[in-house]
Amino acid sequence: MHELSICASIVDSVLEELKNKKIAPNKLRKCGIVAGALRQIVPEFLKDAYKMTTNGTGLEDSEIVIEIAALTADCPDCGWSGELKELNYLCPACDSVLKLNNGTELYLSDLEYIT
Amino acid sequence: MSVEKVKVYKDLMGENEKWAAETRKLLSGKNVRMINVIGSPGSGKTSLLERMVRDLGDKCAFAVLEGDVETTADADRIAALNITASQLLTGGACHLEAKLVYYALRDLPLDDLDMVVVENVGNLVCPAEFDIGEHAKIAVLSVTEGEDKPSKYPLLFHESSAVVLTKTDLLPYLDFDKAECLRHIEKVNPNIPVFEISSKTGDGVENWIEWVMSERHAGLVRNPN
């Protein structure tokens, strides 16, 4: 259940951003986050955790939209480049060690609100 | 009424990262190295620490932080060996976070220590997500857990600096395919060192201790006091 800890961080970040932008929490409709595939986030758990964590914060009318960012890599030896369905550092074409591009990111990407 | 959308790009692990950075600052100021030991419940983490206390005790002054959901049983096991051990109870949470570790470290006699070993909550998923300010994560995998765990829980093995394969004394009784397991580890972390040990018989412990000591000295100048 690391989703609950991560959600506490999401709610803090959202409230801080809204405050900086002088937007009332109850105006928020959607908050978008991007999670790399390696983060092992279960979107359904994160949505439930968001409902629990936002209770009493003014963010109750908003929903969380989660985008899972694919794990992509390049091969420095043969030039292979593509998406990995699972973490495998060995190039599918030549077995050399791949260079990962992303997959561990976790950030708040956008806020959608009514004016 | 209209709907507007703004782009943000804000790192969500920021608060934890902040405490992790504070922890690294605290440790480097005191010349103390910290390792974060992560593995499943029952993978042999506490037995490994008991073995380390026995074999490393006189070469290196260290303290242990035990992370658990409930009970002080593990800290009691380590304290029985005359090593400073603190229990960090997460009260339900499945991993340790940097802030809790920071405050626990401040209660340790860091001036008298060379190393702090943190035994994280038994779990292969969540502890890998949270930087606690350690210098190295260590993945503990027992031969009774199956060869494919590194591929099933890739983040931990990806983030770790070493793998300790425990309970090797049981290999004659199992169908465990070690080469296959090493292949799974290589897939997620191609150059990671793997130490095959038995905490029960002591087999392989020497190599592990040697690595821990070299890790202890990596990047550190011993405090002249």
Please state the ipTM of this predicted complex: 0.82
Judge whether A33 is closer than 8 Å to chain B, CB to CB: yes
Average pLDDT of span B133-156? 94
**Whole-number pLDDT of residue A59:** 96
CATH of the domain at B77: 3.40.50.300
Please tell me the predicted confidence (pLDDT) of residue A19.
96
Chain A interface mutation, best of B2, B8, B158, B187, highest count of A Cβ atoms under 10 Å: B8
E-assigned strands of chain B? 3-11, 33-39, 62-68, 85-89, 115-119, 136-142, 162-166, 194-196
Report which of residues B40 and A89 the model is more confident about: B40
Q: How far apart are CA B144 and CA B167, in angstroms?
A: 8
Provide the percentage of residues in chain B whose pLDDT is more than 90.
63
- A60: pLDDT strictly greater than 90: yes
B221 is a domain residue: no
Domain ranges of chain A: 2-113
User: CB–CB of B215/B161 below 8 Å?
Assistant: yes
Reading the block at residue A74, the tokens are 């390049």
Asked if pLDDT for residue B144 goes beyond 90, the answer is yes
Domain span at residue B67 reads 14-216
Number of domains chain B is built from: 1
pLDDT(B224) > 50: no
Q: Looking at the complex, does the CB of residue B175 fall below 8 Å from at least one CB of chain A? A: no
Q: Given this model, what pLDDT does residue B58 score?
A: 75
Question: Architecture of A2-113 per CATH?
Answer: 2-Layer Sandwich (3.30)
Looking at residue B222, its pLDDT comes to 36
Dihedral sign computed on CA atoms, order B148, B171, B182, B133: positive
B221 touches chain A (CB under 8 A): no
Please state the length of chain B: 225
DSSP letters spanning A67-110: EEEPEEEE-TTT--EEEESS---B-TTT-PBPEE--S--EEEEE
Contact A111 B3 (CB under 8 A): no
B17 touches chain A (CB under 8 A): no
Residue type, B112: D
> If you average pLDDT over each of A38-42, A94-98, B91-95, B137-141, which comes out highest?
B137-141
Interchain contact A38–B (C-beta under 8 A): yes
The model's pLDDT over B16-27, given as tens digits with 9 standing for 90+, comes to 889 999 999 999
Percent of chain A topping pLDDT 70: 99
Mean pLDDT, rounded, of chain B? 90
CB-based contact B166:B43 (threshold 8 Å): yes
Residue B5 resides in a domain: no
Average pLDDT rounded to a whole number, residues A16-23? 94
Output the pLDDT for position A88. 84
- Report if residue B7 sits inside a domain: no
Rounded to whole angstroms, how far apart are CA atoms B26 and A71? 34
A·B CB contacts under 8 A: 99
Find the CB nearest A13 among B10, B154, B188.
Answer: B10
- Nearest by Cα to A61 from A35, A30, A86: A30
Contact B27, B33 (CB under 8 A): yes
Domain annotation covers residue B1: no
Find the CB nearest B12 among A21, A107, A111: A107
Domain-embedded: residue B139: yes
Three-state SS at B143: coil
With contacts defined as CB-CB under 8 Å, which chain B residues touch A109?
7-9
C-beta atoms of B188 and A115 within 8 A: no
Measure CA of the first residue to CA of the last residue in chain A; give whole Å.
Answer: 35
For B116-141, b/e burial (b = at least 16 CB within 10 A) is bbbbbbbbbbbbbbbbbbbbbbbbbb
Residue B202 is assigned to a structural domain of this protein: yes
Instruction: Specify the pLDDT at position B178.
Output: 96
* Nearest chain A Cα distance for residue B98, angstroms: 12
Q: Is the pLDDT of residue B223 over 60?
A: no
For residue B102, tell me if it sits in a domain.
Answer: yes
User: Does the beta-carbon distance from B186 to A89 stay under 8 Å?
Assistant: yes
Q: What pLDDT, on a 0 to 100 scale, did the predictor assign at position B221?
A: 38
Chain A interface includes B222 (CB < 8 A): no
In a domain, B68, yes or no: yes
For residue A110, list chain B residues with Cβ-Cβ distance below 8 A. 5-8
Q: Which of the pair, A54 or A98, is modelled with greater confidence?
A: A54
pLDDT of B171 strictly over 90: yes
Confidence class for position A1, pLDDT limits 50, 70, 90: low
Total count of residues recorded for chain A: 115
